[in-house]
Amino acid sequence: MAKGKINIKIMLNSQSGFTLMEVMIAIAIFTVFASVFVTGQGYNLLDSSKLKEEILMKDFAENKINDIIVNPPDLTEALTLSKETKDVEANKDYQTTVEYKKFFVPDMAKLKPSNTIEEKEQENTPQAQMEKKIFKVFKENMEKMIWQVEVTVKNKTTESSFRLSTWLYNPAAEVQIGSF
């Protein structure tokens, strides 16, 4: 009799297959993996489309700046008064805004305060006076010769933008060395 009971227990324990709990755990693990994979693919597609748009706007900005470098306008004060906004010829969903700015050299004397009496006396020395004259001539000439152009490309539908700037040399600037 004892042998019969042992065989039945062995028979019940040796049944093949998965329990309901094992199947539910496997489905949960697969669900988590699948949702993470699909979400990751969605972010990759979104990032790819943003990168594509950014590269396109960068190309439009570079083309506009290269066109300005090859065919520079007359760099006069009138250019700084307003920005020039136009649609991109290759794609009407984008527009470019061109802004010209004059180069500005700050006054170095205002950046360094002179508090002591000795420093104020040194400002009146011949060397200090010569340095002021040289700086004044440098400032006037640099502000005539160098201009900044800034191109902003904007997508009209998504409102995203890309900004690029460079420096231009004004060949028509009259440089005056002056007398020291």
| Pair 137, 117: CB distance under 8 Å | no
The predicted model gives 33-54 an average pLDDT of: 85
The predicted model gives 11-17 an average pLDDT of: 61
Boundaries of every domain in the chain? 18-169
105-115: per-residue pLDDT in tens?
A: 887 666 666 65
The predicted model gives 147-163 an average pLDDT of: 93
Give the whole-angstrom CA distance, residue 151 versus residue 103: 16
